[in-house]
Structure 1
């Protein structure tokens, strides 16, 4: 079997994995949705569930709460329960690519990490920007995540994965839906951090 055929098959396999990860209605996503909907005094206004990464996040805008459900395997647990924070408890949000910070927004300070001019591109633009030809091949992505830093002594840091494909990595052009989701969720969480809202009584 030629190398080009092998590469084509690997690429096809990756596309199938990504298509399955964004398709609604699969059992992993249904289970995560049930867990989010079962949280007392919490009604998701918007949510993100990844069957590929087995984690989820939801925001209840009216009650000003955020729920995060992480992959139990990463927590070394049989089952994970959602963590719920008030908007006022979210102190910082950070976008991470392959273990390195891309951009970070924290309460009471300016955006850290990438150049301010890059913010116009959005986080995904910072990740993909400037990739072409051979550079694209060298810049495959293995992991993409958002870290939430909360005012919580037990679990002050939660890492929500949007892509977790260690070893081979993927071309950014193949994961445009994931990058769009990443942009939207970093944007939502950044708005919460910068608004400095408090939870209503």
Structure 2
């Protein structure tokens, strides 16, 4: 098989992934589930038809709703989990199963921060997992882990990219990286603001 055929197949695979991610079917079902949460009005939300998960924030009531992929939970259907801002203990950005950066209550920023300068999660992902490694390798999975004080299910993992095997070129998933940056930033603000409130 020639190189041009392989490149074409990879490009076609990425096109299919992006088409699936914007298809309305799963997204409208996720909208219904998020809108059905009592005393919860999403101010901002993220829904991925490709990864079949969603997250929403009700800023006024200080609540976060997370809807995970039922297949990853080994269930036929998943219901949204709702947390107060004060229930969020830490947030972590994960690339291909490895931690890129983590913010937790009661401690400093942890992770791949070169020389104390945070480039933004997407910058760290594209640059590799350490400041010294500047690699542009394919990315198979990108997720944000939310650590909560829920004893039954303390960790919720929200996927932004789940493309095992082939992976995706970082330059081709810039919209996903931008969404990832924004959501890690929002959740980090919540953790940091509650850390400050706890210290007072």
Task: Name the TM-score, length of structure 1 as normaliser.
Answer: 0.89
Higher relative contact order (Cα pairs below 8 Å, separated by 6+ residues): 1
- Residue 177 of structure 2 is aligned with which of 176, 179, 192? 179
Match of 2:4 in 1: 4
Contact 1:68 1:84 in 2 (8 A): yes
Contact 1:94 1:105 in 2 (8 A): yes
Change over 3 Å in CA distance of 1:118–1:95 after alignment to 2? farther
- Residue 48 of structure 2 is aligned with which of 50, 54, 60? 50
Q: What is the CA–CA distance in structure 2 between the aligned matches of 1:58 and 1:118, rounded to whole Å?
A: 30
Q: What is the CA–CA distance in structure 1 between the aligned matches of 2:135 and 2:118, rounded to whole Å?
A: 22
- Residue 32 of structure 2 is aligned with which of 14, 28, 34? 34
User: Cα distance, 1:15 vs. partner?
Assistant: 2.4
- Residue 145 of structure 2 is aligned with which of 144, 147, 155? 147
Residue deviations 1:60-83 (CA, integer Å, cap 9, x gap):
000000000000000000000000
- Matched ranges for 1:1-201 at <5 A: 2-21=2-21, 23=22, 26-115=24-113, 117=115, 120-129=118-127, 135-136=135-136, 139-196=137-194
Q: What is the CA–CA distance in structure 2 between the aligned matches of 1:120 and 1:42, rounded to whole Å?
A: 33
Residue deviations 1:55-103 (CA, integer Å, cap 9, x gap):
0000000000000000000000000000000000000000000100000
User: Cα distance, 1:117 vs. partner?
Assistant: 4.4
Aligned-pair Cα RMSD in Å: 2.0
User: Cα distance, 1:195 vs. partner?
Assistant: 0.1
Q: What is the CA–CA distance in structure 2 between the aligned matches of 1:120 and 1:156, rounded to whole Å?
A: 27
Please list every run of 5 or more consecutive structure 2 residues that lacks an aligned counterpart in the other structure. Answer: 129-133
Contact 2:10 2:166 in 1 (8 A): no
Please list every run of 5 or more consecutive structure 1 residues that lacks an aligned counterpart in the other structure. Answer: none
Contact 2:142 2:160 in 1 (8 A): yes
Task: Name the TM-score, length of structure 2 as normaliser.
Answer: 0.90
User: Cα distance, 1:19 vs. partner?
Assistant: 4.0
Q: What is the CA–CA distance in structure 1 between the aligned matches of 2:189 and 2:172, rounded to whole Å?
A: 28
